[in-house]
Structure 1
Amino acid sequence: MPTKLFFELNEDKQRKIIDVVISEFATYGYTNSSTNRMVKSSGISKGSLFKYFPNKEELYFFILDTVTADFIESLEKKTSDLSSELFQRVIEYSALEFSWYIQNPEKAKLVIGAFTKSDTEIYRKTIERYGIKELDVYYNLIKDIDLSNFRWDKQKTIDILKWFLKGFNEDFLGSVQIDNYSFEHIENEYIKSLTGYMEILKIGLLK
């Protein structure tokens, strides 16, 4: 978390620092990011940065918390309009995610990079930190779905959906180079592939 000194800055100064740090982490990831570049672009001293944030890791998680909160809030405003049919709802929810990515490309690169599987300590800490929030997404997707025509109970259905989407997302995002594609292009490929797999899941989950 930021120190009290950070919140005593005026809002424009806070926003400039946040925007610079988002761009740095989105471009270089956590490991290769540079606090020297951050302070230079922000127009502050390195000593000031570490008066606002105890260390680089605290800075990273504050920024990631800020961005994911914006992401979740944006999607929650629109989820009430999603289909009441589970498989179509998953597709529509994914389309909403990509709509946010397209509108916020640097934030999107930061989020995708943070949750793309890697053999790093910061990735393990990220998954540990956000694991419960991630599970909430699956519960929200299914909370008002009529499951009477499903083979399995609610928990098993959530588990199957969670396992599939986690694996599908890791495989898909690991196969594309975000820097070399527009999010619009990735969205078309993602939704097309996801729709095909949703048809397969229907066969296994519906009675």
Structure 2
Amino acid sequence: MPKQTFFNLPEDKKETLINAAMKEFSRVPLFEASISNIIKDAGIPRGSFYQYFEDKEDVFFYLLNENSKRDNEKFTSILREKNGDLFDSFIDFFHYMLIKFRSMENCNFFRNTFLNMNYKVENTLTQNVNADENPLSEIMGLINTEKLNITDKKELFHVLKIFMAVTFQNLIHNFAKDLPLNEAINNYTLELSFLKKGVYKDMYK
């Protein structure tokens, strides 16, 4: 997380630094990014950067975490609109994510993020679902479980992790292949339909 000195900055200076970081992480993935480029674009000395952040990973994961908070709020809003329907909510959320990525000025930030996914990135994008207390608690409370073949919160938690894994894999595939919007949504919907109805025929149940 950023140091307190960053949060104490005037809003315009914080925005300038954040925009410079987004520009650099949109240009190249995290491991190739340069602090020199960030401070040059932000117009600050190198020493000032280290007063605000520990390193480039610190500012990168701050940006990612802030975006994840907004996405979590959006998914929660969709879930309420869909009266807790898990499948419809994920399909709408996936569509929202695709539209957002295609329209954002810094869409390459997310392209670089998803195409260079690792455990820490995934955990940040999911708001650290493995923590004892996490934003999934609110989401789980909104899900309509009447039609789900689960017995307790532990099973619901794992169902959500499966949905998230399918969602991330489809987003990665979308960025890697530059799929048309309809094709990406159809692929995702098809995979969720298998989760909804299962892949075994009745004779094997």
Task: Tell me the TM-score normalized by structure 1.
Answer: 0.73
Distance 1:62-1:199 versus aligned 2 partners, 3 A rule: closer
Aligned-partner Cα distance in 1 for 2:130–2:115: 16
Paired-residue identity, %: 21
Distance 1:75-1:189 versus aligned 2 partners, 3 A rule: same
Aligned-partner Cα distance in 2 for 1:67–1:100: 11
Q: Which residue of 1 aligns with 2:202?
A: none
Q: Which residue of 2 aligns with 1:19?
A: 19
Amino acid at match of 2:195: L
Query: Going by fraction, where is helix more abundant, 1 or 2?
Result: 1
Distance 1:25-1:169 versus aligned 2 partners, 3 A rule: same
Q: Which residue of 2 aligns with 1:169?
A: 168
Deviation (angstroms), 1:175: 3.4
Deviation (angstroms), 1:79: 3.5
Amino acid at match of 1:190: A
Q: Which residue of 1 aligns with 2:58?
A: 58
**Structure 2: tracts of 5 or more residues without a match:** 200-204
Amino acid at match of 2:121: T
Amino acid at match of 2:143: D
Contact 2:79 2:143 in 1 (8 A): no
Distance 1:70-1:201 versus aligned 2 partners, 3 A rule: closer
**Structure 1: tracts of 5 or more residues without a match:** none
Task: Tell me the TM-score normalized by structure 2.
Answer: 0.73
What's the secondary structure of 2:129's corresponding residue? Answer: helix
The 10-residue stretch of structure 1 (154-163 or 35-44) with the greater mean CA deviation from structure 2:
154-163
Deviation (angstroms), 1:143: 3.5
Amino acid at match of 2:128: G
Aligned-partner Cα distance in 2 for 1:85–1:62: 31
Q: Deviations for 1:78-129, whole angstroms, at most 9, x for unmatched residues?
A: 44212544322321222233343344352x54345435565xxxx3333455
Distance 1:200-1:68 versus aligned 2 partners, 3 A rule: closer
Distance 1:138-1:80 versus aligned 2 partners, 3 A rule: same
Contact 1:87 1:202 in 2 (8 A): yes
Deviation (angstroms), 1:41: 0.9
Q: Which residue of 1 aligns with 2:197?
A: 203
Q: Which residue of 2 aligns with 1:33?
A: 33
